[in-house]
Amino acid sequence: MKSTIFFGCLALACGAAAAQGNVTIYGRLNVALERAETSANAAGRPLGLTRMVNNRSVFGFRGVEDLGGGMRAVFQIEGTLSPDTGEGSPAQRDTRVGLEGGFGALFLGHWTTPYNNATSGLDPFYPTTAGYMSIMGNGSGSTVDNVGNLSSFDRRQQNSVSWYSPAWRGLSLRAAHGVGEERPANGAKPSLTSLAAVYEQGPWYATLAHELHRDYQGAGRDDTGTKLAAAYRFGDTRVAAIVEKLAYETATGKLDSRQAHLSVTHQIGPHGLRFGVARAGDGKGASTQKIGYLKKGADTGATHYTLGYDYAFSKRTSAFVYHTRLDNEANAAHDFAINGLTVSPGATLKGTAAGLRHSF
């Protein structure tokens, strides 16, 4: 019933949008058959399963209206699709309404933060089971507010206002604020502010991003994420590197963690080779709390690496395979951030997938 209502609403909305003109209907279907294993599930026992996974398939439409004087109205409505189960939601992904002009783009809605989208394109396995969010950003918040997810810095923020500047000699700025609408019982007034400076010109891409989570762990306690990334493309090969520091203020003290990610991609005609590795160091600080995947102490780090291959049948359709492995140290419990297995400390996770991706 939910799927019928969902697709019925999409059909009506698409008809109205098409009548308006200057509207693009688009989507991505990304499904894989995957063998996933862990040496220690939540009960501490080995687990292996063969499953079909949906790697965040989407359906949406976006449009513009010329308002004159160099000003345009812009909108986008993007929903989730689950080809494996038939479920979906009409506006659970990047959805906005706003204005564009010489000042850049100013919009309101539900959007990935600048901290997120400044580097997500540097991970060749984003967003799949093998995505770097198992290490980078402390998990994935696909659609969250200021109280529903208190740990992740890889997030799509509800109730946010965003401004993206025009590019000047390859440099642009991105800013977003997650409005503090929530009032938890502990007296906190949580909100989010996310910033990124992006340089993109020729073979170079570089970014410096920072995000502040105010009062997420309680009144007067702020969490921050800071990362620096660079990528260089020479010919058909791209190399990218990211370093990140996350810092949390908890009731029992501070918790700091440092992460890094390296990826290499190489294209030979329709053949694409992909490699990525991410490393989390031990958690530091006085805090005795576990925040997301992170906690302080020796042997709380993890390493996640993936090797993959893509074959492009066309610009819109490709097949892919990958093998991914996530090794936790004795006191760490990092999990796949998408399609997770729920694991115990010290677990090793493996996944081998074969799938199809189609964009329209």
Tens digits of per-residue pLDDT, 151-197? 999 999 999 999 999 999 999 999 999 999 999 999 999 999 999 99
The three-state secondary structure class of 16 is helix
Q: Which amino acid is at 316?
A: R
The answer to whether residue 81 scores a pLDDT higher than 60 is: yes
For the domain spanning 2-359, the CATH number is: 2.40.160.10
Note if the bond before 184 is cis, omega within 30 degrees: no
Closest C-alpha among 78, 83, 117 to residue 358: 83
The three-state secondary structure class of 97 is strand
84-88, 220-224, 284-288, 315-319: which has the minimum mean pLDDT?
A: 84-88
The answer to whether residue 9 scores a pLDDT higher than 60 is: no
**pLDDT computed for residue 251 by the predictor:** 95
Mean pLDDT of all residues belonging to the chain: 94
The answer to whether residue 24 scores a pLDDT higher than 60 is: yes
How confident is the model over 88-111, as a mean pLDDT? 96
Task: Judge contact between 227 and 243, C-beta under 8 A.
Answer: yes
**pLDDT computed for residue 227 by the predictor:** 98
Residues whose CB is less than 8 angstroms from the CB of residue 181 and which lie 6 or more positions away in sequence, other chains included: 145, 146, 159
The answer to whether residue 113 scores a pLDDT higher than 80 is: yes
Closest C-alpha among 137, 125, 91, 82 to residue 111: 91
User: Among residues of the chain, what percentage have pLDDT more than 90?
Assistant: 91
What six digits make up the tokens of 342? 């729920």
306 vs 276: CA distance, rounded Å:
5
The 10s digit of each residue's pLDDT in 240-251 is 999 999 999 999
The answer to whether residue 335 scores a pLDDT higher than 80 is: yes
- Name the CA radius of gyration of the chain, rounded: 21
Please name the residue ranges forming H helices in the chain.
Answer: 2-20, 114-117
pLDDT band at 8 (very low <50, low <70, confident <90, very high): low
